[in-house]
């Protein structure tokens, strides 16, 4: 991805969108995120400072992570004073697009001491065109894929210790949290601002920085998340390690919420 100019990268990221009606208007994927973001803030009366805290947290977690693209903290003030990518989305609320590769090795379960098993893998789709959806603030694909995954795994939301989000922008991360069932609609940001796992709350989010700070090598990102969750469950995450991580979830999005893949991994 680093071979391409910023314009080419944005064009590439916008390719999942309908070219005849969406790209035709000149809007980018970040522009579509901006439309969602603006309506989200207005409908739920949430402040942008709350949504953008997801980026602050992700950068905190990336600090010291050897494979993170941006392994350092960023303050809320710094993020919200960065230039606009697509109003109201600031550049520092967007994922870091970069290079990367990840691999996983799958093998049949033989009870030979391997610690991590795939408890569920699901995928779902939604109407590609944002304008055709009943509600642009709900990612139906995320809802369906996660409901199915938790049924398949026989687990509940409370069981999840580690969650790698597809935070292409802060707002897609927050809406994903809600539609996966970790927070009510309009309350996703409070899960972040009030502190994860505080008061027996939500799971640890983006433990290596997520797309925001670990970076988004696009095609490799989904596998990055699975490799990261596996690393957590094995207890090999070094300074990024979460205590007693038993269950982890990786959520990957395609387009602006038009496809979603959920993988739940469990330590045996």
Partner 1 sequence: MVALVELDDGVRILSQMVDVEPEEVKVGMRVEATFRRIREDGGSGIIEYGYKFRPSIEPEG
Query: Applying CB under 8 A, which residues contact partner 1?
Result: 21-22, 24-27, 31, 35, 38-39, 42, 87, 130-132, 136
Go through 100-133 and write b for each residue having 16 or more CB atoms within 10 A of its CB, e for each that does not: bebeeeeeeeeeeeeebebbbbbbbebebebeeb
Is residue 102 within 8 A of residue 223, CB to CB? The reply is: yes
Q: Among residues 87 and 117, whose Cβ is nearest to partner 1?
A: 87
Q: Among residues 133 and 148, whose Cβ is nearest to partner 1?
A: 133
Rounded to a whole number of angstroms, the minimum distance from the CB of residue 27 to partner 1 is 4
127 Cβ contact list (under 8 Å, min separation 6): 133, 258
Rounded to a whole number of angstroms, the minimum distance from the CB of residue 185 to partner 1 is 18
- Between CA 228 and CA 209 the distance in angstroms is 10
Rounded to a whole number of angstroms, the minimum distance from the CB of residue 86 to partner 1 is 9
Q: Among residues 132 and 184, whose Cβ is nearest to partner 1?
A: 132
Rounded to a whole number of angstroms, the minimum distance from the CB of residue 213 to partner 1 is 28
Could you report how far apart the first and last alpha carbons of the chain are, in Å? 37
Q: Among residues 130 and 242, whose Cβ is nearest to partner 1?
A: 130
Q: Among residues 138 and 241, whose Cβ is nearest to partner 1?
A: 138
Rounded to a whole number of angstroms, the minimum distance from the CB of residue 128 to partner 1 is 13
Query: Is the preceding omega at residue 68 within 30 degrees of 0, hence cis?
Result: no
Rounded to a whole number of angstroms, the minimum distance from the CB of residue 21 to partner 1 is 7
Q: Of 202, 264, 156, whose CA–CA distance to 54 is shortest? A: 202
Q: Among residues 3 and 42, whose Cβ is nearest to partner 1?
A: 42
Beta partners for 164?
250
- Between CA 219 and CA 233 the distance in angstroms is 23
Q: Token pair 């969602």 is at which residue?
A: 36
């Amino acid at each position: 991805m680093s071979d391409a100019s910023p314009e080419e990268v944005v064009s590439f990221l916008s390719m999942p969108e309908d070219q005849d009606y969406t790209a035709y208007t000149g809007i980018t994927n970040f522009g579509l995120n901006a439309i969602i973001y603006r309506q989200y803030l207005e409908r739920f009366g949430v402040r942008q400072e709350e949504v953008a805290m997801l980026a602050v947290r992700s950068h905190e977690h990336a600090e010291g992570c050897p494979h993170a693209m941006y392994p350092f903290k960023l303050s809320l003030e710094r993020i919200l004073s960065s230039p606009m990518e697509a109003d109201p989305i600031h550049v520092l609320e967007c994922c870091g697009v970069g290079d990367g590769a990840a691999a996983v090795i799958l093998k049949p379960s033989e009870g030979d001491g391997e610690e991590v098993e795939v408890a569920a893998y699901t995928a779902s789709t939604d109407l590609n065109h944002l304008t055709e959806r009943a509600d642009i603030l709900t990612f139906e694909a995320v809802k369906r894929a996660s409901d199915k995954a938790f049924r398949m795994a026989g687990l509940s939301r409370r069981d999840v210790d580690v969650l790698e989000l597809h935070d292409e922008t802060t707002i897609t991360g927050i809406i994903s949290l809600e539609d996966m069932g970790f927070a009510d609609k309009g309350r996703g940001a409070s899960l972040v601002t009030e502190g994860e796992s505080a008061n027996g709350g939500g799971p640890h989010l983006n433990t290596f920085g997520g797309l925001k700070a670990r970076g988004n090598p696009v095609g490799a990102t989904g596998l990055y998340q699975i490799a990261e969750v596996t690393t957590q469950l094995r207890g090999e995450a070094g300074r990024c390690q979460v205590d007693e991580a038993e269950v982890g979830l990786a959520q990957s999005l395609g387009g602006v919420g038009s496809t979603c893949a959920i993988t739940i991994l469990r330590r045996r």
